[in-house]
Structure 1
Amino acid sequence: MTRTPRRAALKTLALVATGLAMPRLARAAWPDHPVTLVVPFAAGGGNDVTARTLGQFLERELGQPFVIQNRPGAGGEVGINAVADARPGGYTYGILNTPGLVTIPIERNPRWSLDSFTFVASLVEDPAVIAVHPESGIRDVAGLLAAARKDPDGVTIAAQGRGSTSFLSVRMLEMAAEVSFSTVIYNALPQGVVALAQRQVVGTAANLGEALVMSAGQPWRMLGVMAEERSAMAPDLPTFREQGLDISIGSLRGFVGPRGIPPEVTARISAAIDKVSRDPEYIALCARTQQPLKVVVGEPYAASLRAQDMRFRAMWARKPWM
């Protein structure tokens, strides 16, 4: 009689201990099935190329497929929603990029904020450039500004949508140099490339990596890169800072998950990304596909996004872009 309760108690404790251990075992086994990698834009763009390049190396490193899911719409908001709303088990991430990740909550009220995510690592930073037609007579940034001052609002520059990197780079140049341009909005960079080739616009703003790919063989003269230092992709192209304007803006693509992912899962995916980023094969492939690497893992990446948030909020307060 006295042994039965004791045995029952021991059995109960054993079951409890097993139950407590099961989640740890499940977490330790991550990943045990395919991982979804959301891209908030259509196939073929910069985010898509980054996702597919990294995905194949992570699959090799972690032993599970990384399935690319393109979720375009609303300037990236549809895809960002999909990541923010995902279960935080470590099986849904996104290749999310600035400025949209930072500026959409400034422009409107989405159902997420920067606090809604787990920021694993930045991957690629593609700085902005402005290009003109070689027959325009404009040879540098000073020439572009002189044209704008001579004909206020008469210098047309193609951009890819309000709130995009290209649009905000033009706005940033206007504010820094105290000039005005007529910004012509296109849905995608190829339309801006054609518009410039046909002399429908004076200039086109774009990300450097995408511009190098899509403008190949086109009559383009890049005036400068909006980065803190020259890009290895175009080492002969001077920065705007070298030309007297302290302007830095680009598209920072990162590996982001929903808030609440178990720390041990985040640690493992972070380590895998760090290892892949040092793989010579991966580095060479990114160079061939015009993806300027900027791999920063964990909190420093999140801190850089918070700094951008402050900068764009100050910019919005001075001159809203929507």
Structure 2
Amino acid sequence: MAASRRIKLLAGVLSGSLVLAAFLASQARAETPESYPSKPVRIVVPLPPGGATDSMARMLAERLASASGQPFIVENRPGASGAIGADAVARAKPDGYTLMVSIGSTVSLVPFTTKVPYKPDAFLPISELARTPQVMYANPNIPAKDLPSLVKWAKANPGKLSFASYSVGTQGHFAGIRLNQLAGIDMLHVAYKGSAPAMQDLLGGQVQVMFDALLPAMNYVKSGKLLALATAGTERSPLAPNVPTFRELGYPEMEQFNGNFGLYAPAGLAPALAGRLEALARRAVNSPEYLSKVKELGLMEPETTQIASFSKRVREDQAKWSSFVNRIGYKPEM
């Protein structure tokens, strides 16, 4: 009798397990691109909190959550020129639940300047989020108030100026290297783990120069805590009409140091799901609230929110930067 009851009990447990497994399988099959996302989505930022990239990610996450009804959670994973966070995304399952918001150099430049564990094609570019020119900032305690006088002083005092970048092998790093070459000066490079700590040392005078986004640093310029010497934009920014372009000052080659922010997914994301994510991102990026905040940050609107055109841009940038790195004979610092 006892054995019979145990058999019946075991049969019931097995039956229940099969029903549960069937239910879970049906739920997994029920997920379609139209229902994405059906759970929280993680957005990795490969840089510390407080910088422009972090601000962009949080702006986007808010709009994506509003459009989809699911939380988009920002996770900062800084280090190694963005490679730590980027590698976490590259290794993630390409199911749309791990994404990355990053400056373009993480994908287009860093793979050619540092030993990263991911390949340049490890990501699917989804949408450009904003564009930004690099601005050359200086601590006001230096004995120069504009770029020509800074170059003159630096030539007379080689090795006495240092410039900060938000990480090794990034656009801010290469902007300093390139200006050294073009102007015949010798600014020393100091790398940080993100723009926020680099900016703090620039304000404190531990470094004298930095190449970074227009805002929030321009607020320090208005208060007299920093100087803005030049911008890499093709024209002066309406938010900083008194800041000349590098071209105006005789350095047109510096225009290549214009950056962008983008949304990326791991390569291998199913086309239908990628299309759904593209549509959500386009809706978020084109919302009046988002575009208003982009302008408040001193950024320019994205040129494309389409996977095809953004992917083409990223591949072109990769080719450009690979050629540039080889041409100047740069040797990785790490």
Q: Same fold (TM over 0.5)?
A: yes
Partner of 1:4: none
Decide which of 266, 272, 279 is 2:274's aligned counterpart.
Answer: 266
Moved more, 37-46 or 175-184: 175-184
The answer to whether structure 1 residue 85 and structure 2 residue 91 are counterparts is yes
Partner of 1:239: 245
Partner of 1:183: 189
Q: Deviations over 1:261-319 (max 9, x none)?
A: 12222222222222222222222223234444325222222222223222322332223
| Aligned residue type for 1:316 | V
Q: 1:102 to 1:26 in 2, by over 3 A?
A: same
Give the 3-state SS of the residue equivalent to 2:260 in structure 1: strand
For the 8 Å contact 1:197–1:218, the answer to whether it is kept is no
Decide which of 72, 75, 78 is 2:81's aligned counterpart.
Answer: 75
Q: What stretches of structure 1 move > 6 A for 4+ residues in a row? A: none
User: Alpha-carbon deviation of 1:65?
Assistant: 1.4
CA distance, structure 1, for counterparts of residue 318 and residue 41 of structure 2: 29
CA distance, structure 1, for counterparts of residue 122 and residue 271 of structure 2: 16
Q: 1:185 to 1:71 in 2, by over 3 A?
A: closer
Give the 3-state SS of the residue equivalent to 1:229 in structure 2: coil
| Aligned residue type for 1:157 | F
Partner of 2:172: 166
User: Alpha-carbon deviation of 1:52?
Assistant: 0.9
User: Alpha-carbon deviation of 1:94?
Assistant: 0.6
CA distance, structure 2, for counterparts of residue 98 and residue 293 of structure 1: 15
Q: 1:118 to 1:154 in 2, by over 3 A?
A: same
List gaps (5 residues or longer) in structure 2.
1-24
Partner of 1:5: none
Moved more, 222-231 or 191-200: 191-200
The answer to whether structure 1 residue 309 and structure 2 residue 294 are counterparts is no
Give the 3-state SS of the residue equivalent to 1:208 in structure 2: coil
Moved more, 53-62 or 158-167: 158-167
Partner of 2:11: none
What's the TM-score once normalised by structure 1's chain length?
0.83
CA distance, structure 2, for counterparts of residue 188 and residue 255 of structure 1: 18
The answer to whether structure 1 residue 209 and structure 2 residue 215 are counterparts is yes
CA distance, structure 2, for counterparts of residue 98 and residue 204 of structure 1: 18
CA distance, structure 2, for counterparts of residue 130 and residue 100 of structure 1: 20
Moved more, 173-182 or 91-100: 173-182
User: Alpha-carbon deviation of 1:147?
Assistant: 2.2
Partner of 1:152: 158
| Aligned residue type for 1:319 | G
What's the TM-score once normalised by structure 2's chain length?
0.80
List gaps (5 residues or longer) in structure 1.
1-18
Q: Deviations over 1:197-226 (max 9, x none)?
A: 455544333222242256663521101111
Moved more, 195-204 or 205-214: 195-204
The answer to whether structure 1 residue 279 and structure 2 residue 279 are counterparts is no
Equivalences for residues 1-322 of structure 1 within 5 A: 26-134=32-140, 136-213=142-219, 217-246=223-252, 247=254, 248-296=256-304, 297-317=306-326, 318-321=328-331, 322=333
CA distance, structure 2, for counterparts of residue 37 and residue 194 of structure 1: 26
CA distance, structure 1, for counterparts of residue 123 and residue 202 of structure 2: 38
